[in-house]
Structure formats: C-alpha cells, structure tokens
Amino acid sequence: MTVSINLKRIVDDSYSIQIGPLPEINFEGKVAVLTNPKVAGLHLHTLLSRISAKEVYVITIPDGEHYKTLETIEFILDRMFDHRLNRKSLLVAFGGGVIGDMGGFSASLYNRGIDFIQIPTTLLSQVDASVGGKTGINNRYGKNLIGAFHQPRAVYIDPSFLKTLPSREFGAGVAEIVKMAVTFNAPFFEWLELHDLREGDNLLVAIKKAVETKAAVVEEDEKEQGLRAALNYGHTFGHVIENETKYETYLHGESVAIGMVMANELACECGLMERSEAERVKALLERYELPLSYPITDIEKFYQAFFLDKKSADSAITFILPRGIGGVEITDKIEADTVKKILTMFKG
C-alpha cells in the first residue's frame, strides 16, 4: 500500500509513504541508522538485513522523551562527523516519535540538510509523528519548541514491528487515530466503531486510513497556517494535563484521549456536537482502555495554563472543537465562563 504526499509549494519535497512489509533499502552512499537500545534489541537485525549500502553505521541514543534535547542532537551530529557522512549520505530514523523527531532534525542540520528515511516502530509514530515533516526537540521552555520542517525522502511503515509494543503504547497510538477520524473522516470513525484494531488486518487498514487523512491535511497546510492546527484536537486540554502531571502519569496519547473527552463536552455546550456523538467517542476510547477523565484540582490554574500553549496567541485561547463527527472548528471565540463551566464538570 502506498500513500503519496504532494506538497503544493515545495514540489521537490513530495515523497511516498509505504505501508506494508519493510522494503529493501539499496543505497550507494553511506547510511547512518539512528535508534535506541530498546528498538535495536528487538528489531535492528531485521532492519540491517534489509539495507545494502556502501557503509552502514548505527548511532544509538538513550531511550526516552527526556533525551529529546539539543545535547543529544550534538551527540548525533558528532557521530555523523566521526563517520564522515557527506551531503549524499542518508540517515535512517528507526524507532518511535522521539527517534523520528531527532533523526529528522539532525538530518536537517548536517551539512545544511541531508536525506533521511523514517521507519517508525510505534503506532503513534506510524500514524502521526512520521507523517508531515515536523522535526524537533524540547528545551526548558517547553516541548517541540526548537526544530525544522524537513520532509523525509520516504516513510516505511511496517505494522509487524508493532507486535512487540506494550499495550499502553498501542492505546496511545489509537487515541491519535481516533483524533483524525473524529475531526476529518466520519466514515473512518464508523469503520473504527465496527472493527477491533487488535484483530486480523484491521490495524493495517486503520494505519492506512489515518496516514491518508493526515497526509491530506499536511498537503493542504504544510506549515500550519490554518487547517493543520485541527490535528491538535484534544491537545489543548491534553497539554495542560501533561504539564500538571509532569509527564509522569499519562502517555501523550492518553492525555489526548482525556483532552478529546473535554473538548467534546465543550463542543456539546457550544451546540457543535450532539451528546450521543460525544458518547460514541468515549465508547471507542474506552475499548482501548484509554483514560476518559482527569480530576482537575484548581479550575483557575488549569484555565490559565492554556495560555502557555504555543497554539494559543497572546490573548485568546484557540480551541479545536469537533463539529459533529467528521468535522472541525478552530475557534478563539469561546467565553472564559463557558470553558470554566466545562472544567468544573471534571473537578476532582
């Protein structure tokens, strides 16, 4: 299965996303594979058996969001210089979204930009992080604040890597799939209600539909001037929850699941969504054991934290609200009182 992505303004940057068994990677120059010890232990032998190149180097960095820093980027670049990679070399990012974001960013920096290939190995990175060309790192001011738009040459999505993924990580990826279905694709949502992603070929089909949905949005709005922001449905609330819980209690996708439930309540209050639709979203998330609620202790503090989100301009909070199932509204016109009324429903 192949989904092609055609960026309107930067024709050169069009590339293909292949979904299915990992293809052979034949390359004349040098290849550096970026990965971490966990992914390497489980799957590196499979990847290496598929690469034939002049020389292949493996660069391993510690596992975890905690290491998604400028320091690690410097470490990666140093190894690339040690191995004397050049403009014609290729970097292969092999792992979850953390590896993808750092691999892409390193590739964008080395010699002012070399080619890279994404081989995502988590569900979240297969349906979301590997598609769209955003790369970057965190710093003390927040997440993903430093980075570049650097499109990969290709993305190879092989769902068989997911067999070793822990179930919570699987659920976190499902949350992002549900996000795309609710905001952009009603038939896909209905399909998800009828098909269990843990059975048969359903996961392969869902990955393809999610990638197509995200690719269509990115094609429309590569640099997030408008529509692409809709992919942040559930994230406005989710980011506050992640911050309050210091990124320790929930996986990103789990906080997005709670955030979608909150956004749906707000959408119902604003007359954008039927209660029955909000219940259907909840039921779908629940099937994958995703959390649906979070005890807010301080409503005012939670509300003020919205202003720290980079999607919100200085004075107004931008909310991404579903318009029914399959539609979306990006708005900064919601009254503070309305938002606080919804937050009170979640008071712990």
| Residue 121 binds ligand NAD, judged by CB under 6 A | yes
DSSP output for 78-135: HHHHHTT--TT-EEEEEESHHHHHHHHHHHHHGGG--EEEEEE-SHHIIIIITSS-EE
Written as six digits, the tokens of 252 are 């990103």
| d(C-alpha 60, C-alpha 97), whole Å | 15
* Residue 95 binding ligand NAD, by CB under 6 A: yes
Q: Name the residue whose CB lies closest to ligand NAD.
A: 97
Residue pointed to by tokens 């995200």 = 214
Residue 39 touches ligand NAD, criterion: CB under 6 A: yes
- Cβ atoms within 10 Å of 166's Cβ, excluding its own: 10
Specify the DSSP element, H or E, that contains 193. helix 186-194
Tell me whether residue 136 or residue 322 sits nearer to ligand NAD (CB atom): 136
Assign 223 to helix, strand or coil. coil
Sole window of 117-125, 192-200, 285-293, 316-324 interacting with ligand NAD (rule: CB under 6 A): 117-125
Of the listed pieces 50-58, 126-134, 293-301, 339-347, which binds ligand NAD according to CB under 6 A? 126-134
Q: Is residue 208 annotated as a catalytic residue, yes or no?
A: no
- Please list every residue from 53 through 82 that binds ligand NAD, using CB under 6 A: 63, 65, 68
Output the CA–CA distances (angstroms, integers) from residue 338 to 40, 193, 311, in the order listed.
Answer: 48, 30, 20
Of 160 and 297, the one with the shorter C-beta distance to ligand NAD is 160
Pick out residues in 145-204 that bind ligand NAD (CB under 6 A).
161-162, 164-165, 169, 172
Catalytic residue among 209, 214, 254, 265: 214
Who's near 179: CB < 8 A, 6+ residues apart? 231, 233, 234, 256, 260
Q: Which two tokens stand for residue 158?
A: 């092989």
Query: Catalytic positions, please?
Result: 112, 134, 176, 214, 224, 228, 232, 235, 239, 252
Q: Which residues are annotated as a binding site for NAD(+)?
A: 63-68, 97-101, 121-122, 134, 143, 161-164
Q: Under the rule (CB under 6 A), what is the footprint of ligand NAD?
A: 36, 38-39, 42, 63, 65, 68, 95-99, 101, 121-122, 124-125, 128-129, 132, 134, 143-144, 161-162, 164-165, 169, 172, 252
